[in-house]
Amino acid sequence: MKLSIIIVSWNVKDKLKTCLTSLYKNISDFDFEVIITDNASTDGTPEMVKADFPQAKFIQNKTNLGFGAANNIGLKEATGEYILCLNDDTEIKNNIFPPLFQKFEHNNKLGMIGCQILNPNNTNQESVRKFPTLKDQAVILTKMHNLFPRSIEKYTQKGFDYNKEQEVDQVMGAFMLTKRSVLDEAGLFDERFFLWFEEVDLQKRIHDAGYEIVYTPDASIIHDKGASFYQLKALKAQWNFNKSMLKYFQKHGTGLDVLILILLQPLSLFLTLIVQITKTGQYGKN
């Protein structure tokens, strides 16, 4: 049995060091490899990994290829039966994997497992959602969820019992454990998604292939949510989010869904700009 851990890194050197330290400190009793695909970090990440973790395989991209494409580079190098896509801003506290492997061994329809994800202060981080629908994504694009938060509670799984193992639509992309055989059937990440929705699309394809996606509290990690994403300015982030949302519905929605979302895109960007101006006092500041 072998586990391949794929980590996409981008300008979070210290967080990545914490992540790698926790992996090599806590994993034992089985064979594993760590493959880091770096999206052209400029903060000293390559030098840190090569100096402190020479046992890891480090792949440095010349440009930022996005999350899905960078993951695929690592996945194509992976040799393990089990595959973990892990965020660079996570940390494990113990050897959480053996009980997760057992769940796969006992259920041949299990396609992916997501564990309990905790904030740095050890409070629970919401990590389960339903698959997107036109209704909830239209609410998000128009920022109406800020006024009426209950309008997306079904999508965000408000009230989900994180103390109970159960089948779900999707788990957070910070920790996605699957098997090579599942990816061979469902496919790798769709590289047309630069950022956002790539993990949702992958899980939708795994689900549509007849596999179960399961959340379990039997294992947990620490996640400093969005350490890389916070480096994006709001308007650019919204633009990337909108493009990825549209691609998702082009694949999994209807023509009417796509048309409505296209019409809402300009409004979404305008509202994001207004919010950014309101928060900063003038356009162009972080």
What confidence score (pLDDT) does residue 283 get? 37
Task: Name residue 117's beta-bridge partners.
Answer: 221
Name the token pair of 93.
């506290």
Residue 20 pLDDT? 98
Q: Report pLDDT for 280.
A: 55
Per-position DSSP letters for the chain, written without gaps between them: -EEEEEEEE-S-HHHHHHHHHHHHHH--SSEEEEEEEE----SSHHHHHHHH-TTSEEEE-SS---HHHHHHHHHHH---SEEEEEETTEE-SS--HHHHHHHHHH-TTEEEEEEEEE-TTS-B---EEPPP-HHHHHHHHTTGGGT-GGGGHHHHTTT--TTS-EEESEE-TTEEEEEHHHHHHH-S--TT-SSSSHHHHHHHHHHHTT-EEEEEEEEEEEE-TTTTGGGS-HHHHHHHHHHHHHHHHHHHS-HHHHHHHHHHHHHHHHHHHHHHHHHHSSTT--
| Structure-token match 């999994």, residue found | 252
pLDDT of residue 227: 56
Nearest-angstrom CA–CA distance, 221 and 223: 6
pLDDT of residue 274: 87
Q: What tens digit of pLDDT does each residue of 111-122 get? A: 999 999 999 999
Nearest of 112, 119, 218, 124 to residue 165 by alpha carbon:
218
pLDDT digits (tens, 9 = 90+) for 80-133: 999 999 999 999 999 999 999 999 999 999 999 999 999 999 999 999 999 999
Would you list the domain boundaries of the chain?
Answer: 2-130+160-231
Per-residue pLDDT at 235: 83
- Report the pLDDT value the prediction gives residue 228, as an integer from 0 to 100: 53
Its pTM surpasses 0.95: no
pLDDT of residue 279: 67
**pLDDT score recorded for residue 286:** 32
Asked whether 124 and 116 are in contact (CB, 8 A), the reply is yes
Q: List, for the chain, all residue ranges whose pLDDT scores fall below the cut of 70.
A: 226-232, 279-286
Q: 2-130+160-231 domain in CATH 3.20.20.140? A: no
